[in-house]
């Protein structure tokens, strides 16, 4: 039994070994056939797929320039650092070095890679400097590579931030002109097939699938020189008066183009990490306020147009108080019996109210509407407010009176500037434009409007506004040597719930130059000056003067006031 079993055991083992060896050989042959014949295409494809990639070729975003082609937003090529998490996960020992060079915390990197561990692409840091890009690539970490992108740069920084706006990290416009004209600016990305090595670097361009189509440029109406000047002066004034905020707008009265638009507070579009939403607003178009005395010229124009008043018609404003129903309208002081011109020059609320009560509410309302109050300016700016002008049907005596001197309606700074531009020309409100436009196009747009004021009334109102900035007027600090200026001050108590604040004001000046042939209109708003002075004449008028003086000179507008003794000498010596 024992021997037999031993014999069988030997033979049995031998045949077992033979079978095993034979099967193993067969398996190997089969595997070879499988790999090289049957599954060849599939495996080859898988191999190629590791390296063959379709990548997007970003499109160059169009430039935003000022009216003379000076760049306000420009895209330059830069590199972004990205990684293939599935590859990078196998090189954990390199992570600390990588995080250090990128300037990010190690656990931030760990979390990022964990979150994207099933993906093959994640940005580690976008739009890096060429220096940083080189340092990262020098680490030679598998799975880390560079991708070409564009970085948006705003050469004027905070000076033009509210108008230009900005595009986000994916080059999509978020605010301002970047948002409005995003489709025009953005272009179409191209695509190409490339082969990449195991570091993710492109080693061969295989084929181009489509060319990137660059975005188109846009030319704004803004004059960068005026924009800088206005920004500097506004910022100085807001700070100097310890005010909360401020805006200034300059329009070309012939075309409705915005030549400058600035606000405080502002922000730097090139560094938005600490951006406060409060700084983001383009207040000149989004924020409304009661315009106060700055609307008096429209009341006077309506009064003149009615035929019931002439510039020298007398109005009794005594004793500086005037009851309308249960309310009392007050003047700063008792101006006595004054004519219509003096109502403007001294800014009498009572004078304006008496004129308004002598004409029909519809006529007053229509005059305001005819210069664009209560409607958007046509600028197309995102978030633009139309202000508020209620229908005259709801006006009682008190509303007719208060509207005449600027309460019970609201406007934006831009709207007020547009209304003054109508006063400066033929009474039609030109639709406002942030894009450069020629005079013929502007004329065509203006032709959609019917002027309500005669040229006689308009020039009479302009003369009254000229008296505001000369001795005896409320706005003498708006004067500019060598030029005739016309404008209006406003000091407005800010409305608060249940009435008007006792010591918070808006300080305003709206005006035009040169009066003999108006070219520019500007409105200056200083919100809550906290210094000794808070009146429009003391706070806003000097800002108007400084900006307008510089603007007229920059635009080579010929002086129209050389006749004043002494001034021509200074001009010959100084200006040009």
Which residues contact ligand 59J (rule: CB under 6 A)? 292-293, 329, 332, 347, 349, 402, 407, 474, 489-493, 500, 535-537
CA atoms within 13 A on the CB side of 330: 2
Alpha carbons 276 and 283: distance in angstroms, whole number:
14
Q: Residues near 187 by Cβ (< 8 Å), separated by ≥ 6?
A: 59, 60, 61, 62, 212, 213, 214, 215, 216
Residue 395 corresponds to which tokens in the numbers above?
């006006």
Classified as helix, coil or strand, 53 is strand
Q: Which is nearer to ligand 59J, 493 or 568 (CB)?
A: 493
Q: Which is nearer to ligand 59J, 329 or 523 (CB)?
A: 329
Alpha carbons 576 and 11: distance in angstroms, whole number:
119
Q: Find the shortest distance in angstroms from Cβ 406 to ligand 59J.
A: 7
Q: Do the beta carbons of residue 469 and residue 487 sit within 8 Å?
A: yes
Q: Assign 3-state DSSP to the chain and report helix, strand, coil percentages, each to 5.
A: 40, 25, 35
Q: N- to C-terminal Cα distance for the chain?
A: 131
Residue with tokens 């018609």: 313
Q: Find the shortest distance in angstroms from Cβ 105 to ligand 59J.
A: 54
Q: Find the shortest distance in angstroms from Cβ 505 to ligand 59J.
A: 6
Residue tagged active-site, from 75, 80, 247, 293: 293
Q: Do the beta carbons of residue 61 and residue 170 sit within 8 Å?
A: no
457 is catalytic: no
Q: Strands of 499-513's sheet, edge to edge?
A: 258-264, 245-252, 520-527, 499-513, 486-496
Of 379, 365, 378, 371, the residue nearest 429 (C-alpha) = 371
Alpha carbons 94 and 40: distance in angstroms, whole number:
36
**Would strands 218-219 and 64-65 be described as parallel, antiparallel, or unpaired?**
parallel
Alpha carbons 297 and 124: distance in angstroms, whole number:
60
Q: Which is nearer to ligand 59J, 260 or 512 (CB)?
A: 512
Angle, in degrees to the nearest 10, between helices 413-424 and 296-305: 40
Alpha carbons 470 and 347: distance in angstroms, whole number:
14
Q: Which is nearer to ligand 59J, 72 or 401 (CB)?
A: 401
Under DSSP, the state recorded for 38 is I
Q: Find the shortest distance in angstroms from Cβ 535 to ligand 59J.
A: 3
Strand partners, 263: 247
Burial tier of 107 (Cβ tally within 10 Å: 0-12, 13-18, 19+): exposed
CB burial of 393-431 (b: ≥16 within 10 Å; e: otherwise) equals eebeebbbbbbbbbbbbbbbbbbbbbbbbbbbbebbbbb
Residue 521 corresponds to which tokens in the numbers above?
């209109």
Q: Do the beta carbons of residue 513 and residue 519 sit within 8 Å?
A: yes
Under DSSP, the state recorded for 393 is G
Q: Any idea which residues carry the catalytic annotation?
A: 293
């Amino acid at each position: 039994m024992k021997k037999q079993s031993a014999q069988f055991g030997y033979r049995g083992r031998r045949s077992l070994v033979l079978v095993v060896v034979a099967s193993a050989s067969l398996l190997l042959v089969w595997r070879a056939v499988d790999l090289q014949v049957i599954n060849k295409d599939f495996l080859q494809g898988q191999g190629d797929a590791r390296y063959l990639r379709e990548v997007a070729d970003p499109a160059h975003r169009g430039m935003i320039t000022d009216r003379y082609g000076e760049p306000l937003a420009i895209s330059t090529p830069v590199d972004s650092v990205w990684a293939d998490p599935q590859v990078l996960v196998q090189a954990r020992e390199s992570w600390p070095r990588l995080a250090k060079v990128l300037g990010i915390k190690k656990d931030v990197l760990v979390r990022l890679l964990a979150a994207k561990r099933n993906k093959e692409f994640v940005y580690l840091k976008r739009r890096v400097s060429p220096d940083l890009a080189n340092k990262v690539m020098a680490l030679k970490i598998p799975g880390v590579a560079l991708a070409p992108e564009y970085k948006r740069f705003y050469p004027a920084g905070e000076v033009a931030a509210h108008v230009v706006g900005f595009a986000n990290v994916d080059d999509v416009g978020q605010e301002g002109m970047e948002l409005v004209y995003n489709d025009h600016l953005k272009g179409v990305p191209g695509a190409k097939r490339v082969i990449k090595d195991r570091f993710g670097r492109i080693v061969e361009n295989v084929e181009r699938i489509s060319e990137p189509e660059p975005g188109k440029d846009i030319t704004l109406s803004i004059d960068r020189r005026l924009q800088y000047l206005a920004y500097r002066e506004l910022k100085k004034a807001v700070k100097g008066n310890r005010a909360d905020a401020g805006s200034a707008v300059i329009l070309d009265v012939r075309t409705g183009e915005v030549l400058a638009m600035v606000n405080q507070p502002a922000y730097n579009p090139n560094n938005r990490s600490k951006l406060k939403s409060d700084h983001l607003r383009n207040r000149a178009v989004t924020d409304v306020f009661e315009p106060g005395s700055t609307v008096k010229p429209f009341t006077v124009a309506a009064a003149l147009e009615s035929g019931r008043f002439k510039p020298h018609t007398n109005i009794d404003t005594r004793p500086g108080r005037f009851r309308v129903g249960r309310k009392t309208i007050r003047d700063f002081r008792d101006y006595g019996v004054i004519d219509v011109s003096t109502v403007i020059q001294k800014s009498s609320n009572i004078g304006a109210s008496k004129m308004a009560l002598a004409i029909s509410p519809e006529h007053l309302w229509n005059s305001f509407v005819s210069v664009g109050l209560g409607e958007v300016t046509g600028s197309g700016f995102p978030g633009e407010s139309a202000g508020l002008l209620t229908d005259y049907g709801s006006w009682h005596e008190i509303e007719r009176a208060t509207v005449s001197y600027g309460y019970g309606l609201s406007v934006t700074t831009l709207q007020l500037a547009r209304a003054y531009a109508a006063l400066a020309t033929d009474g039609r409100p030109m639709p406002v434009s942030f894009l450069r436009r020629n005079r013929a196009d502007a004329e065509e747009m203006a032709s959609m409007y019917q002027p309500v004021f005669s040229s006689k009334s308009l020039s009479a109102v302009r003369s009254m506004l000229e008296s505001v900035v000369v001795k005896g007027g409320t706005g003498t600090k708006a004067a500019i040597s060598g030029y005739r200026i016309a404008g209006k001050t406003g000091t407005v108590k800010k409305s608060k719930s249940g009435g008007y604040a006792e010591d918070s004001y808006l300080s305003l000046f709206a005006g035009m130059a040169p009066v003999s042939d108006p070219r520019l209109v500007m409105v200056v708003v200083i919100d809550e000056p906290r210094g000794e002075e808070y009146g429009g004449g003391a706070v806003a008028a000097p800002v108007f003067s400084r900006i307008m003086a510089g603007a007229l000179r920059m635009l080579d507008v010929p002086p129209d006031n050389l006749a004043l003794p002494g001034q021509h000498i200074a001009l010959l010596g100084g200006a040009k």
